[in-house]
Amino acid sequence: MVILEGGALRRRRYMVRPPIFDTSSQTPYGQGMKHSNTTLPPDYHSHTRLCKHAEGTPIDYARAAATRGLPAMICTEHSPFPEPFSPHVRMALDEFEMYCEWVAEAAALSEIPVFLGLEADYYNGCEPFLSEWLPQQPFDYVLGSVHFVHYDREQDHALTGVCDYPDIVKCWEVYFDCVGKLADTGLYDAAAHLDLPKKFRAPPPPEEIERIVKPALDKIAAAGMAMEINTSGFIHGCAEQYPSQTILEWACERGIPITFGSDSHQPERMGADFERAVEVAQAAGYTQRAEYQARQRTLVPLA
């Protein structure tokens, strides 16, 4: 783990308590675990109050997931960084140990398996920290996301949002250029909420979407990454999952595996709209989904 001390970086490896990683006490997905008769996929995207814009702790989400009938979940709190990159929406480095302890507690107490994950932003200049810090941590799954398309260290750490440009086509161009760079790093297991700009503004014309999105999908495929179907879009203005049906079809054509995430910021959202998401995935041509443990992927039947 990398922590701040006296303005400098000091490293130590932090291993969480055994319940999360000692799989002898947990049954692998689909092999007799509680709720294994569910047709719903596990939820691979949830947050906690550490990110400053969500509620609860991992055990709250785990209990809600079990009640919902989900077979498993992965906690994916927003990654800390050693520099002031959007600190108002993520946990701090000195909170990471507590986060790991919370997840371990949830894994020990929950009726379903609970695994340790992270949602790590990509932004210009994130690579030196993430490339060293991520491998030091015992993650099961690392989501890659883009929430800001530029970070200006020279101008009071100013942030450029995904839809801050007047021209919506430029917004999508710059955003998906970042998604492509995210994939090029090789640091992430899956891409989160892929067409996020539609949350804030109506998307560009279909021909522009195709021109902009397909090169980013090619890079995701080349990196061997998966892509989540994120159901939070159903409660946003776009009123559909991230990504769109068309983008999912393009991803399926490229052999990009899928996971499912509710992006829950409240426990009651765990597994929300997963029935619809499975139908969308099937309509796009998917017959399998991806599962992760210790950052190793396994493909299993979709339903």
Distance linking the first and last C-alpha atoms of the chain: 38
The CATH number of whichever domain residue 60 belongs to comes to: 3.20.20.140
pLDDT of residue 32: 29
The total number of structural domains that make up the chain: 1
In this predicted structure, the answer to whether residue 15 has a pLDDT above a threshold of 90 is no
Q: Is position 28 within any domain?
A: no
- pLDDT digits 0-9 by tens, 267-284: 999 999 999 999 999 999
Q: Is position 110 within any domain?
A: yes
Could you tell me the residue range of the domain that residue 230 belongs to? 41-301
Q: Is position 9 within any domain?
A: no
Q: Is position 5 within any domain?
A: no
Contact criterion met (CB below 8 Å) for 30 and 300: yes
**Per the structure block, which two tokens stand in for 209?**
């979407």
Q: Is position 15 within any domain?
A: no
Q: Is position 145 within any domain?
A: yes
- pLDDT digits 0-9 by tens, 144-194: 999 989 988 878 788 999 889 999 999 999 999 999 999 999 999 999 999
Angle at 90 (CA atoms; ends 120, 142), nearest 5 degrees: 20
CA pair distance 214, 235, nearest whole angstrom: 26
Q: Is position 74 within any domain?
A: yes
**pLDDT averaged over every residue in the chain:** 88
- pLDDT digits 0-9 by tens, 79-112: 999 999 999 989 999 999 999 999 999 999 999 9
Higher pLDDT: 292 or 31? It is 292
Instruction: Please name the residues in contact with 173: beta carbons below 8 A apart, sequence gap of 6 or more.
Output: 212
Q: Is position 6 within any domain?
A: no
